[in-house]
């Protein structure tokens, strides 16, 4: 996730880091060459005149813009929902920690609050690594110890395994008379919320925007951008490369942004900062427990939080 301080309007025009311009420069170079060729040949290819004018290009451009807006809205909705789920994860983690501190007995022999909170933090890390397909070994060993980490690595659905273990601990505490039925219900409501969050994230990850939809948009954008110079050359002449490149930049960049944020859990610059979010959860829960907290996550190179 790109995190930059507010910029004035002039600096925003020249920002490079965090823009998709870097990734679409090859495509823009091709469009610039096509536009220059169309201008130099006055709209001819192999001595054949490409008979286009601004009217059909304008009508197609309006329809394509609406199509692009719909695609970007669909991608942003996935991004927004993913961020909402992780915001709820932070809330549920804080609530569970507070409940464990005030409702569970202080006797570690009956219920070890520190272990429970570490499992809660390991749950957030497990979900992050599951969504990103990364290795959770280091986080598990740090939070749970080597023996528990090795056992957990054998599971396929590690966040669910940790939720089940936390539920088992609380059920055993209730059977031993450590908490009441009502208190168990309150704990279980938060665990159920965590389970809902896991399912919601898995739904986003496993249900991409239909591939055929993306292919259609991709082909249409590039076909329009390649034909645009031939529709403009008669009316604006030497300015054709400039206008064509500007329109191509807008449309290709919109498509690139939509593809970028459609998978909100990855490592791309504009994806969610899951490392920073799990660090915030750990800091918040440890502070409630009165323990030392790790350093806060800060933007690294190119203003990026991972």
Whether residue 301 is predicted with pLDDT greater than 70 in this model: the reply is no
Looking at the domain assignment, is residue 19 inside a domain? Answer: yes
Looking at the domain assignment, is residue 107 inside a domain? Answer: yes
* Confidence at 181, pLDDT banded by 50, 70, 90: very high
Calculate the average pLDDT of the chain: 89
pLDDT digits (tens, 9 = 90+) for 184-197: 999 999 999 999 99
How high is the pLDDT of residue 303? 67
Reading the block at residue 283, the tokens are 């800091």
Output 45 or 156, whichever has higher pLDDT: 156
* Confidence at 260, pLDDT banded by 50, 70, 90: confident
Locus of tokens 């880091």: 17
| pTM of the predicted protein model | 0.89
How high is the pLDDT of residue 306? 79
> Structural domain tally of the chain?
1
How high is the pLDDT of residue 122? 96
- Going along 20-75, which residue ranges are E strands? 44-45, 48-49
Looking at the domain assignment, is residue 1 inside a domain? Answer: no
How high is the pLDDT of residue 295? 84
Looking at the domain assignment, is residue 270 inside a domain? Answer: yes
User: Distance (Å, rounded) from C-alpha 134 to C-alpha 265?
Assistant: 11
How high is the pLDDT of residue 118? 94
User: Distance (Å, rounded) from C-alpha 69 to C-alpha 82?
Assistant: 20
User: Distance (Å, rounded) from C-alpha 125 to C-alpha 168?
Assistant: 20
Rg (CA), the chain: 26
Tell me the average pLDDT across 255-268: 90
Tell me the average pLDDT across 248-277: 90
How high is the pLDDT of residue 55? 79
How high is the pLDDT of residue 299? 73
Whether residue 283 is predicted with pLDDT greater than 80 in this model: the reply is yes
Structural domain range at position 95: 9-303
Tell me the average pLDDT across 94-122: 92
pLDDT digits (tens, 9 = 90+) for 142-162: 999 999 999 999 999 999 999
Looking at the domain assignment, is residue 145 inside a domain? Answer: yes
Looking at the domain assignment, is residue 2 inside a domain? Answer: no
Looking at the domain assignment, is residue 44 inside a domain? Answer: yes
Looking at the domain assignment, is residue 203 inside a domain? Answer: yes
């Amino acid at each position: 996730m790109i995190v930059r301080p507010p910029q004035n309007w002039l600096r925003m025009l020249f920002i490079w880091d965090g823009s998709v311009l870097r990734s679409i420069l090859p495509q823009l170079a091709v469009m610039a060459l096509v536009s220059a060729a169309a201008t130099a040949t006055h709209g001819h290819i192999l001595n054949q005149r490409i008979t286009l004018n601004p009217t059909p290009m304008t009508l197609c451009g309006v329809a394509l813009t609406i199509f692009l807006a719909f695609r970007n809205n669909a991608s942003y909705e996935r991004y927004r929902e993913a961020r909402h789920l992780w915001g709820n994860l932070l809330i549920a983690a804080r609530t569970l920690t507070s409940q464990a501190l005030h409702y569970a007995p202080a006797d570690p022999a009956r219920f070890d609050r520190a272990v429970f909170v570490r499992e809660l933090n390991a749950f957030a890390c497990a979900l992050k690594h599951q969504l990103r397909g990364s290795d959770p070994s280091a986080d598990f060993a740090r939070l749970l110890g080597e023996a528990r980490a090795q056992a957990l690595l054998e599971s396929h659905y590690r966040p669910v395994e940790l939720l089940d273990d936390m539920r088992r601990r609380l059920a055993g505490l209730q059977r031993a008379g450590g908490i009441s039925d009502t208190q168990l219900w309150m704990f279980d409501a938060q665990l159920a919320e965590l389970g809902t969050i896991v399912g919601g994230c898995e739904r986003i990850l496993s249900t991409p925007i239909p591939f055929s939809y993306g292919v259609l948009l991709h082909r249409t954008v590039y076909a329009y951008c390649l034909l645009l110079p031939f529709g403009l050359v008669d009316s604006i002449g030497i300015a054709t490369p400039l206008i064509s490149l500007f329109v191509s930049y807008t449309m290709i960049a919109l498509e690139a942004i939509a593809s970028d944020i459609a998978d909100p859990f990855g490592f791309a610059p504009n994806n969610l900062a899951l490392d920073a979010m799990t660090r915030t959860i750990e800091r918040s829960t440890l502070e409630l427990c009165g323990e030392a907290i790790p350093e806060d996550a800060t933007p690294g190179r190119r203003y990026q939080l991972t």
